[in-house]
Amino acid sequence: MFMGDEPIHINAKPGDIAPLVLMPGDPLRAKYIAETFLHDTIVEDFSIDNKNVANLRNMLGYTGFYKGVRVTVMASGMGMPSMGIYAFELFHYFNVEKIIRIGTCGSLKPTVKVPDLILANSSYSESNFAYTFNDYKEHITYPSNSLNNTIIETAEELNYKLHVGDITTMDVFGPYIDYDRVLARVPKDLDIVAEEMEAFGLFHIANHFEKEAACILTAVDSKYSKIVLSGEEREKSLNSMITLALESIIK
């Protein structure tokens, strides 16, 4: 496997990135988290080659302090290929120890309402991502048990309602496909509560490096509801997810 001595997609210096990382998909959400929750923030506009092409990638990363603990917030982009690139480089080149993905998802259970919080205890995918990466043939990957347990305990301390269950990571944006057709192929021993596009890849890369990863999601739509969150409602619900992730990762 060719890796080279330096990362190709994260244009940061050694020490710029903390061992603890939160990863939203959206670069602007990373910026919002840094401005709203972190203090003494170092801003890094990561790009593929140099500053001249930063506006083509805009994969923003920020390092600051949350309650005195150094934390980095960096976007992953959308889909497993993008998540795989940034998670790989964070673990391999920057010695990151823990990553919590914080993202949005579609609820696939009537018991999971918009905008409930979900913690993934596994991710099922039909993708060949893991097989291509290192010949892993299974279609399910798992987060860190210890990190998940910390998140569950922290949710209880914060009095946050948190659904814990299996999710599916898709290669196609869920609302654009027939949910039932895809879900019919999922193994019957899995109880899929939500769908998203990145967690399977994150878990697999973390397990490869023997590092910790978890995924907290906010349900922003549901196949059982026509509820559409207003901008204010969406921000408030995402703030709960961000707070839960930050409080958990610093423990």
For the segment 155-175, what is each residue's pLDDT rounded down to a tens digit? 999 999 999 999 999 999 888
Contact 190, 166 (CB under 8 A): yes
Cα separation, 99 vs 96, whole angstroms = 8
Q: Which of 40, 49, 166, 221 is catalytic?
A: 221
What does the pLDDT read at residue 56? 33
pLDDT at position 28 over 90: no
Residues 6+ apart with CB under 8 A from 5: none
Which residue matches tokens 């290929």? 81
5 part of the active site = no
Residues 169-196 have a mean pLDDT of: 90
Q: What is the mean pLDDT of the chain?
A: 88
What does the pLDDT read at residue 40? 72
Q: Which helix (H) or strand (E) element contains residue 48?
A: none
pLDDT at position 30 over 50: yes
Domain chopping of the chain, boundaries: 20-249
Query: Which amino acid, one-letter code, is at 104?
Result: T
The residue ranking higher by pLDDT, 243 or 57, is 243
What does the pLDDT read at residue 89? 93
pLDDT band at 49 (very low <50, low <70, confident <90, very high): very low
List the structure tokens of 195: 């769908």
What does the pLDDT read at residue 53? 25
pLDDT at position 48 over 60: no
Q: Which fold has domain 20-249?
A: Rossmann fold (3.40.50)
pLDDT band at 42 (very low <50, low <70, confident <90, very high): low
For the segment 77-92, what is each residue's pLDDT rounded down to a tens digit?
999 999 999 999 999 9
pLDDT band at 55 (very low <50, low <70, confident <90, very high): very low
Cα separation, 10 vs 176, whole angstroms = 31
DSSP bridge partners of 31: none
| 3-state DSSP assignment of residue 168 | strand
- Lowest pLDDT segment from 36-40, 121-125, 207-211, 231-235: 231-235
Residues 46-60 have a mean pLDDT of: 43
The residue ranking higher by pLDDT, 69 or 40, is 69
pTM: 0.92
For the segment 201-241, what is each residue's pLDDT rounded down to a tens digit?
999 999 999 999 999 999 998 888 888 777 667 666 799 99
pLDDT at position 250 over 50: yes
